[in-house]
Amino acid sequence: MSAPQAVDPRGPRFAAIVTTVVLVVVLATGWWPLLAAQTVVFAIGAFVGLKPAPYSVLYRLVVAPRLQPTEEREDAAPLRFAQAVGFAFALVGTIGYASGVTALGIVATALALFAAFLNGAFGFCLGCEMYLLLKRLSPRAGSAS
Amino acid sequence: MTGVIVAGVTLVAAVVVGLVVRARNGRIRPSGGSSSDGAAPGGAADSALDGLPTEVRDAVTGEAAEVTLVQLSTTFCAPCRHTRALLTHVAERTDGLRHVDLDVTDKPDIARDLGVLRTPTTIAYARSGAELLRVSGVPKREELLAALEPRLPDAESAAQRSE
């Protein structure tokens, strides 16, 4: 077993709150370049790592110094998976808005907002806990049933 | 304008779902009787065991424990780790109680057969294979023990019986 990467759980919570605000602004304005930027943010968190993810950097530089340090640590794997789910929705949303299929952009962004808000407000990681359901629904998961 | 309305509706829906999830977290749902939850075990003890996925049946019959807590987890689930730590601790200190953590990340079939949508879900089985209760999210230790108590060998009453 490789030693799991561990993070301060308040960092992802902060990132989810920032994400929520960004996605509300995207929905309100329909300004898709902002959604494209959020898609890149998700991609960094999911595929590069949580440390270089922009909101994590912001958390460490601005927020963490103002908080009590905590011993609490959370494993990074679920968080990166959640970023990947967010990335998928944001990517679809960006494509929708940019290609003029605004309804697709709105729906995909709303789904990402739903998950981000649940994470920020309730600390509930939808993508992580519903992983089995996602897997069951995804067409690739046809493992001999 | 549509976007603003969608954002508002989405946030309201998320608040509702968040409150429901929070209320359900760790709450014990007794099984059987009304057999509400997905794959309900049959009445007879034999058919209850037969109806279980192989991995679960092996877990329940593996050791002679009165009650086996089968926890379904995935790699991507942070509360699963907390649940595992809690249940391992509880099982170590409780006679007749056993805890098995099943990683079903690559076995969604098991979760489907058991009607489990969310991890962690913990299902308590009697030795007969009968399902006793379910808990989604991190269980609350005291409530879980209280719910299982009638099924567990009680040290005091056992002592009285032997007199």
Dump pLDDT digits (tens) for A2-14.
445 678 888 889 9
CB pair distance less than 8 Å for B119 and A131: yes
Between A39 and A76, residue with greater pLDDT: A39
Chain A touched by B44 (CB under 8 Å) = no
Domain boundaries along the sequence of chain A: 7-137
Residues in chain B within 8 Å Cβ distance of A142 = none
pLDDT band at A55 (very low <50, low <70, confident <90, very high): very high
- The answer, yes or no, to whether residue A113 has pLDDT greater than 50, is yes
Residues of B in contact with A26 (CB under 8 A): 3
Q: 3-class SS at B69?
A: strand
Mean pLDDT of A135-142: 61
pLDDT given at position B47 = 67
Contact residues, chain B, for A127 at CB < 8 Å: 76
Task: Tell me the two tokens of residue B17.
Answer: 């779902």
CB B48 within 8 A of CB B131: yes
| For the ranges A18-27, B20-29, B134-143, the one whose mean pLDDT is highest | A18-27
ipTM entry: 0.83
Chain A: residues touching B (Cβ < 8 Å): 9, 23-24, 26-30, 74-75, 77-79, 81-82, 106-107, 110, 113-114, 117-118, 121-122, 124-125, 127-133, 135-136, 141, 143, 145
Between CA B155 and CA B53, with CA B81 as vertex, the angle to 5 degrees is 75
What pLDDT was estimated at residue A128? Answer: 80
* Cross-chain residue pair A136–B112, CB shorter than 8 Å: yes
The size of chain A, in residues, is: 145
What residue spans define the domains of chain B? 28-153
Across A89-93, B42-46, B93-97, the highest mean pLDDT is recorded for A89-93
pLDDT confidence band for B49 (50 / 70 / 90): confident
Return the top range by mean pLDDT from A75-79, B23-27, B30-34, B66-70.
Answer: B66-70
Question: What pLDDT, on a 0 to 100 scale, did the predictor assign at position A31?
Answer: 95
Q: How far apart are CA B60 and CA B62, in angstroms?
A: 6
CA-to-CA distance for B110 and B87, rounded, in angstroms? Answer: 20
Q: Supply the pLDDT for residue A116.
A: 95
Residue A2: phi and psi, rounded to 5, are: -75, 145
Percent of chain A whose pLDDT exceeds 90:
60
Q: Which amino acid is at B14?
A: A
pLDDT at A4 (0 to 100)? 56
* Superfamily of domain covering B28-153: Glutaredoxin (3.40.30.10)
Rounded (10°) CA dihedral B134, B137, B140, B141: 70
Interface probe for A, chosen from B10, B25, B122 (most Cβ of A below 10 Å), is B10
Residue A141 pLDDT > 70:
no
Residue A2 to residues A6, A78, A103, A133, B78, Cα–Cα distance (Å):
12, 15, 43, 27, 17
**Which pLDDT score is estimated for A139?**
60
Q: Which residue has the higher pLDDT, B33 or B93?
A: B93
> CB contact, 8 Å: B74 with chain A?
yes
**Burial (Cβ within 10 Å: 0-12, 13-18, ≥19) of residue A107:** middle
Residue B117: how many CA atoms within 13 Å on its side-chain side? Answer: 5
Q: How far apart (Å, rounded) are the C-alpha atoms in residues B153 and B163? A: 16
Model pLDDT, residue B155: 56
| Average pLDDT of span B138-160 | 79
Rounded Cα–Cα distance for residues B59 and B99 (Å): 9
Please list every residue in chain A whose beta carbon sits closer than 8 Å to the beta carbon of residue B104.
132
Residue B14 near chain A (CB below 8 Å): yes
